[in-house]
Amino acid sequence: MRDTIQRWFKSFQERLCADLEACDGQAKFKEDQWERPGGGGGAARVIQDGAVFEKGGVNFSAVEGILPEQAAQALLLPDPHFFATGVSVVIHPRSPHVPITHMNVRYFEAGNGEAWFGGGIDLTPIYVNKGQVQFFHQQLKATCDRFQPAYYPEFKKWADEYFYIPHREETRGVGGIFFDRLTPTQEISLEERFAFVQAVADSFSPTYLALVNQNKGLPFTPQEKEWQLIRRGRYVEFNLVNDRGTKFGLETHGRTESILMSLPPLASWHYSHVPAEGSPEAEALTCFRKDIDWVNQK
């Protein structure tokens, strides 16, 4: 299935970039093709300085070769040969009223024949509109429920645990779904796993762009923009300190520019910054924690 999966991921990158360009209405993606010295390569697509999107990336890769010993041990692989392909997306909007988002879908094939999928979608709003977060989670649940009723609660909890900043004791945003190492089983074939991953990917554009279109025209103040930069700082902290994908990419000698495209163009760190009690910023912080039942939020 390797070629089929790779072709579909590349097609998904093309379709998603077209959707994002249409939503922005001004900026266009620029493509940067690259080759990995150990084998394979990819196409990094970046949009910058748009009317809606200050910076965003939709990256495709298909790489193969031999994993460094440390990476192979981390994945518990006796054979270091590998093939990996996927699409990774991070969008940093201009307006603090439009959430940051991240999604990725990926396929990994080990030298011993083991193969699996991973991926997910999560949302990082700057100011939290609970109704919109509920919609976001309801859409993810509906996609998961088409395949397995257990998927959404399991993958939602996984996202809460994964997108957590221990040194801040807060989540990166309001979560979503996250899954890894979805291997075939006696009950579920690799083809069925792939169908689920395709459905997750296809749900991203209509779900996220619905939120973008609701918020992109709202006015914002310099204070609200500064809060956005502070929250972007938290995003940077997670990606550089905690994110396993970033570490894996750098350890396997991936393309640095593509790996770090997830970072925003601007971010801020204020010493001991605490929002005023009762402020919208303080209210947002109460939502950045684990185990909130967003689907049934009142």
Residue 130 C-alpha from the chain's centroid:
20
Show the tokens assigned to 209. 């762009």
**Residues in Cβ contact with 11 at an 8 Å cutoff, skipping those fewer than 6 apart:** none
* Residue from 20, 4, 3 nearest 205 by CA: 20
Q: Residue type for 216, please?
A: K
- Concerning whether 102 is annotated as a catalytic residue, the answer is yes
User: What is the β-pairing status of strands 81-93 and 164-165?
Assistant: unpaired
State the SS3 of 32-91.
Answer: EEEECCCCEEEEEEEEECCCCEEEEEEEEEEEEEECCHHHHHHCCCCCCEEEEEEEEEEE
Q: Which residues pair with 53 in a beta bridge?
A: 93
CB atoms within 10 A of CB 62: 22
Q: What share of the chain is helix, strand, coil (3-state, %, to 5)?
A: 40, 25, 35
- Distance CA(93)–CA(143), nearest Å, equals 25
Show the tokens assigned to 3. 């070629």
100 and 272 Cβ atoms separated by less than 8 Å: no
Q: Which residues pair with 41 in a beta bridge?
A: 35, 62
Catalytic one among 92, 97, 102, 137? 102
Q: Residue type for 107, please?
A: Y
* Residue from 264, 273, 224, 206 nearest 240 by CA: 264
66 and 38 Cβ atoms separated by less than 8 Å: yes
Enzyme catalytic residues: 102
